[in-house]
Every structure is written in C-alpha cells, then in structure tokens.
Amino acid sequence: MVLRVAPEIMAKLKILEFPDPRLRKKAVPVESVNDELRTLIGDMFETMYDAPGIGLAATQVDVHKRLLVADVSPDKSEPHALINPVIVEKDGVTVTDEGCLSVPGYYEEVERAEQIRVRFLDRDGEEREMEATGLLAVCIQHEMDHLEGKLFVDYLSEAKRQRIRKKLEKERRHTAVVM
Ligand code: ZN
C-alpha cells in the first residue's frame, strides 16, 4: 500500500543565498526542544536532502536558532540533528573542497579541524556528545559557522569573495526574467 503524502505535509523551506544579510545574523540558543522544533528539524532534513546537500543550518532557512542537520552518508542513512552544538575538543587539520547551499555553484578549499568532539541536545532534549572525523567533522564545523553568521567564502580573499558575490547577483537577475 502506498500513502499519498499531502503537499502541505511536505514543507520544503527556502534557502537564503549569499550575499543575503540574513545569513549574517548570529543564532540564539534553543530554549525548549518541543514539537515545533522537531517539525522544523524534519523540514530541514527534507530541504537538505532535496537540495541535495549534506548539511544545513537553521540560519540558512531564516530561523536564527542554534540548530543544524547533517547527513554525509551516500544513502541518507545517518541523519544527525544537533541542537545548541558546542565543540569541546578539536584535533588535526584537514583541507576540503567545500561548497554551500547558500553559495550555489562554488567550491573552494577550506582548512578545518580533522576531528572534533561536539556536545549538543538531541531531538528529545537530551544532552549528548559525539565524536566526528573526516567529512562529518568538516560539515558540522561548516554548519556551526552559519550559526555565527559566517560563510565559507569568508575564508577566501576579499577579491575572490567579491567575484563570487557579483556572479551570483548577476545570475539571480537573469533567472528573475525567465518565464
Ligand atoms: Zn553552508
């Protein structure tokens, strides 16, 4: 049996794009892990998988709370939702060609810790800690930057960032007149 999902249950959220000033807002801590927040988490996973991306911060969907979702598995089998994440340990250095759903089409090398230990609340509001290495560690650091209003292009030179900004603005003007 197949159930048809009503379109209103599928809440794909709009992703803000650089240089939207709302991407620069600093997120505030989540005070209560409730059903409303769990709905938002579900919508963020759906938006991320649909994009497709491997991580999404609440900031990117214009919700300025300290919340991120990530899944670096190839088959959507390892979803992580981190509420009020704090990195308590980091180790090593790794360089990754990063992209971002808020900076579509651009990939640049960014240096980050190779391994992290992160403390957070899970969907039930329970405090947890997890160790992440490799791509998951990079992804969590990238998404945590969003919560601070920071983007991966901030690691690049001013000239490079301006070039990306101008190109994206130009592309957006073009798509605005497509009918
Ligand atoms: Zn991003």
Which pLDDT tens digit goes with each residue over 88-124? 999 999 999 999 999 999 999 999 999 999 999 999 9
Residues around ligand 1, an ion, CB closer than 5 A? 100
Alpha carbon of 177 to ligand 1 centroid (Å): 27
Predicted confidence (pLDDT) per residue in 56-87, tens digit: 999 999 999 999 999 999 999 999 999 999 99
pTM assigned to the model:
0.91
- What gap in Å lies between CA 73 and CA 76, rounded to an integer? 6
Alpha carbon of 2 to ligand 1 centroid (Å): 35
Alpha carbon of 103 to ligand 1 centroid (Å): 7
Alpha carbon of 23 to ligand 1 centroid (Å): 10
Predicted confidence (pLDDT) per residue in 19-60, tens digit: 999 999 999 999 999 999 999 999 999 999 999 999 999 999
pLDDT at 150: 98
Instruction: State mean pLDDT over 116-133.
Output: 98
Known active-site residue 143: yes
pLDDT at 120: 98
Confidence at 176, pLDDT banded by 50, 70, 90: low
Among candidate residues 31, 143, 158, 171, the one labeled active-site is: 143
- Helices and strands counted in the chain (H then E): 3, 7
Alpha carbon of 64 to ligand 1 centroid (Å): 14
- What gap in Å lies between CA 91 and CA 173, rounded to an integer? 43
Strands 67-70 vs 55-57: parallel, antiparallel or unpaired: antiparallel
Give the number of other CB atoms < 10 A from CB of residue 21: 8
With a cut of 60, say whether residue 125 has pLDDT above it.
yes
- What gap in Å lies between CA 54 and CA 68, rounded to an integer? 11
